[in-house]
Structure 1
């Protein structure tokens, strides 16, 4: 065989080998894409078993993702999570267990779902004539309840009755203690007990039982929420199911059907799109937090940054975001009908920005009236900064004198900073946060003794938002310790009590 033929055979063989490798890799990729998604592991209180099975069936059918559920007493489930550090979600029968889990840094996000009320389960037609609290203490009434050391309802009832000095009476009358609330209901159903303290929702599946509500148990209610386990390796999938559970047109429908007390909830969307309007000056303080929230939740956050005057005009023209983060309370007040419950979050103060080293020797607002200066300020109608600036000028008594020197009125502080950096302005009145990224080139001179020079930034969720809970979780992230650090680094002063955002 000639050398040319040998070379030709080697080339052909190499091509065939590469084609085979490519085919194997392509087959592997195809096989991976067809693999079912990783299942979700949920630790769930026994009191929620019936409703959760109904929701699980719908979710698995709709999304093809398996949900593995371990049922049991809330305390036992919490202990299991603490020991194994495994699983994706934790749904106890009362939020107090989520508080404990948070204290131990076992859960991250918490999503509210529904409520349950403690009641007394009895046989239909009330054969023992149990009508009031004292009837539970009668010798002939066999009373059962769940253990306060393992089950949420036992814990909640003990706390409420202990506050009224009634717990010892009930405890001494209990003939049997069970691990879960379902076992209590079963005892009454089969005639092993005459009465049992249970959650009202648990009795939805017991046709032969009814319940009575007692004034002594009126405060013995439990908020049901689901927590994302902090160690989960699939937070997007966990949060997807948590959103499904708490959606008004998905999980909450089931909860209502099973006798739970529900209200509110987000509208369901596989990938929700949350819309946020925020003043331009807030962008450096919140953008990274929003981007991280987007990625973790597996959602889309459409944000619009602009001068608050412009944003208000857009909202009055019919563009209604899910949430609004205003540069100043005045511009939140202008859309109070859309955002009735604003929360003050941070503060930002006006300063006089000058070139590094202050070559024009500007020391106060009065110096801005000098004839040789080119001054930049915010536009009064387009942004909160401009509105606050004009109030500051008026309060200091220089408005008429300084305005002839104003050569630029901008909708954002960033534009003023850029013109200072290029030499188009000698000085500008802007927020301290606007100067945070230009400290090597600009100096900031504080405005003394003018109270209105400080702006307060409020946050609010729209009354008509389809995603109030999702917007609330974003706000929790904006209020986190790491986010507060970003605010401080950008020149803001935190105002909101940190505990209110968590």
Structure 2
């Protein structure tokens, strides 16, 4: 009679101990699994992080805004670096089709972008991300009283233009043609920044550049708007290049340019919405 309760208590303790061991084992297994899963996720996140250099070929007029976006991109993606080659879109396109290593091309006109797409050096369809309008840049104080596009044809007035094959030059020629004006500049420049510099250094009295360049120059020049510019607005396309050395980071940079954040930077620089 006295052995039965003792046997029952012994059995209860044994069952209870087994349950505790099973519970501990389950907890340990669950913890190990969760830890392994977290470790795996962290490893995947680290492995998927953007790294390396993104090389961007971009129209000279994008210099200030793209430089700022490059800094923002590097801050958002530690371990990356954005390098730029700014210049005339036609020259940049020629470099790309000749095999220059680059990840992204941002041109100042669809025509210059077509050089790259026709050569099948683009990885996809270019997307227009901004537009830009012309303005006359003059020496501070506007001593030659330039008020219209026609004024650029005044005798003795020294004017610099972008070369006709450069987007800013093609747009200027389109505006002149629409107004029925003929103009012989003292120099043709290979990109818009070079045309602007001529005015900044007072080597010429005026130059036809983009509004964004006049704004970027600050007080070094003054801007004169002219109605013919409305018919010569340039679309700016951007594209990932086919043989991009760092395609994933390049895609992320293009996404930044086309985002609201990128649009804000470009808008503050004076670019128009696409």
| TM-score band w.r.t. shorter chain | 0.7 to 0.9
Aligned partner of 1:334 among 110, 115, 118: 115
Aligned partner of 2:242 among 435, 441, 463: 463
Give runs of aligned pairs for residues 398-437 of structure 1, distance below 5 A.
398=181, 401-403=182-184, 406-437=185-216
* Distance verdict in 2 for CA 1:301–1:375, change over 3 Å: same
**Cα separation, 1, equivalents of 2:244 and 2:201:** 42
Please say if 1:483 is aligned against 2:240: no
Give runs of aligned pairs for residues 40-59 of structure 1, distance below 5 A.
none
**Cα separation, 1, equivalents of 2:198 and 2:121:** 35
Q: Provide the secondary structure at the position in 1 that maps to 2:95.
A: helix
Partner of 1:275: 55
Q: Provide the secondary structure at the position in 1 that maps to 2:264.
A: helix
Partner of 1:492: 271
* Distance verdict in 2 for CA 1:466–1:442, change over 3 Å: closer
Please say if 1:343 is aligned against 2:127: yes
* Distance verdict in 2 for CA 1:362–1:344, change over 3 Å: same
**Cα separation, 1, equivalents of 2:103 and 2:126:** 13
Please say if 1:242 is aligned against 2:48: yes
**Cα separation, 1, equivalents of 2:229 and 2:62:** 23
Higher relative contact order, structure no. (Cα contacts within 8 Å, ≥ 6 residues apart): 2
Contact residue 135 and residue 229 of structure 2 kept, 8 A: no
* Distance verdict in 2 for CA 1:378–1:449, change over 3 Å: closer
Deviation at 1:466, TM superposition (A): 4.4
Please say if 1:360 is aligned against 2:172: no
Q: Provide the secondary structure at the position in 2 that maps to 1:278.
A: strand
**Cα separation, 2, equivalents of 1:492 and 1:424:** 27
Contact residue 88 and residue 190 of structure 2 kept, 8 A: yes
Give runs of aligned pairs for residues 104-119 of structure 1, distance below 5 A.
none
Q: Provide the secondary structure at the position in 2 that maps to 1:305.
A: strand
Aligned partner of 2:71 among 291, 307, 311: 291
Contact residue 396 and residue 450 of structure 1 kept, 8 A: no
Contact residue 447 and residue 453 of structure 1 kept, 8 A: no
Aligned partner of 1:389 among 151, 172, 175: 172
Give runs of aligned pairs for residues 136-285 of structure 1, distance below 5 A.
238=45, 240-243=46-49, 271-285=51-65
Structure ranking higher in helix proportion:
2
Q: Provide the secondary structure at the position in 2 that maps to 1:439.
A: helix
Partner of 1:68: 39
Q: Provide the secondary structure at the position in 2 that maps to 1:68.
A: helix
Contact residue 277 and residue 304 of structure 1 kept, 8 A: yes
Provide the TM-score with structure 1 as the length reference: 0.44
Aligned partner of 1:314 among 87, 95, 113: 95
Contact residue 395 and residue 450 of structure 1 kept, 8 A: no
Structure ranking higher in strand proportion:
1
Gapped regions of structure 2 (runs ≥ 5): 1-32
Gapped regions of structure 1 (runs ≥ 5): 1-48, 57-66, 71-87, 90-225, 227-237, 245-270, 496-502
Provide the TM-score with structure 2 as the length reference: 0.77
Contact residue 316 and residue 335 of structure 1 kept, 8 A: yes
Contact residue 69 and residue 265 of structure 2 kept, 8 A: no
Deviation at 1:470, TM superposition (A): 1.9
